[in-house]
Amino acid sequence: MSIKIIPAIDIIDGKCVRLSQGDYTRKIIYNEDPLEVAKMFEDAGLRQLHLVDLDGAKAHHIVNYKVLERIALNTKLVIDFGGGLKSDKDLEIAFEAGAAMITGGSIAVKSPETMISWIENFGSDRIILGADVSDRKIAVSGWKEDSGLDLFSFISKWQKKGIDKVISTEISRDGMLQGPAIQLYQEMLQHNPDIYLIASGGVGSAQDVLDLEKIGVPAVIVGKAIYEGKISLDAIRKINTLKR
């Protein structure tokens, strides 16, 4: 099995930024133009992009859809988009702007009936479940709230509703570059073997990516490690070449 590397672009004020552990006060601006970054990823042979509207996450509705639209119009990247999506209108805007898929996290906890309607109206293949976790419990609202929900039961519930793609961030590792939560992802694949698991958080080297591949993780989101030069685009290109 070959692991898919999905680069991340997080947007605040239309700029490409990264946070540490979801903390808006620990923000670093990496590029004023997210499209430039997206083209760089495409040129490196990457095919998918994880685009997060951090302004939207704060505002509880889509904000940076124009950034999404620019990237979708000017690259061939398959974009999964998340951050503050709360209503059918938000999803319509996201899909019209060029998102191939959206991620629903807090909404799946706080308004499951809305998430169910999205699955029914837009198709389960276009909806990714966001399962962000701390101590095996689902965290919501920009990681500020512990929902008390067990990670594995939460995923199982949404699998039964037709969801098969799950992005899971181990919050304590996000942006820290100290390695992904290998044991957590092993447990997830044991409890929910049929999910398409997209690991997120902690990746700090090319070896981290290969370690995730070894345990059977099919895809990984990489952000800060690229921006900080811990993983070069050349290294990613080589990993992708080896997989073909």
Residue 244: its pLDDT value, please?
47
Residue 215: its pLDDT value, please?
97
- How large is the average pLDDT for residues 222-231? 94
For 151, which DSSP code? H
pLDDT over 70 percentage in the chain? 95
pTM to 2 decimals? 0.93
d(CA 44, CA 226): 12
Residue 147: its pLDDT value, please?
67
* Dihedral sign from CA coordinates of 240, 213, 141, 152: positive
- How large is the average pLDDT for residues 202-214? 95
The CATH number for 194's domain is 3.20.20.70
Is 19's pLDDT higher than 60? yes
Domain count, the chain: 1
**Alpha-carbon distance values, 110 to 132, 147, 148, 207, 215 (Å):** 14, 9, 12, 37, 32
The CB-based long-range contact list for 115-121 (8 Å cut-off, 24+ gap) reads 115/158, 115/161, 116/161, 117/88, 118/88, 118/91, 119/161, 119/162, 119/163, 121/88
d(CA 167, CA 201): 10
Is 22's pLDDT higher than 80? no
Q: What residues are annotated to the active site?
A: 10, 132
Q: How confident is the model at residue 174 (pLDDT cuts 50, 70, 90)?
A: confident
Q: Return the SS3 of 230.
A: coil
Q: Are strands 219-222 and 196-200 parallel, antiparallel or unpaired?
A: parallel
pLDDT digit string (tens) for 45-75? 999 999 999 999 889 999 999 999 999 999 9
d(CA 114, CA 180): 31
Contact (CB, 8 A) for 75 and 45: no
Q: How confident is the model at residue 2 (pLDDT cuts 50, 70, 90)?
A: confident
d(CA 67, CA 54): 12
Q: How confident is the model at residue 6 (pLDDT cuts 50, 70, 90)?
A: very high
* Dihedral sign from CA coordinates of 86, 88, 94, 99: positive
Residue 144: its pLDDT value, please?
59
Domain that holds residue 37: 4-243
Tokens of 122: 């837009």
Is 21's pLDDT higher than 80? no
pLDDT digit string (tens) for 147-166? 689 999 999 999 999 999 99
Contact (CB, 8 A) for 26 and 18: no
d(CA 65, CA 61): 10
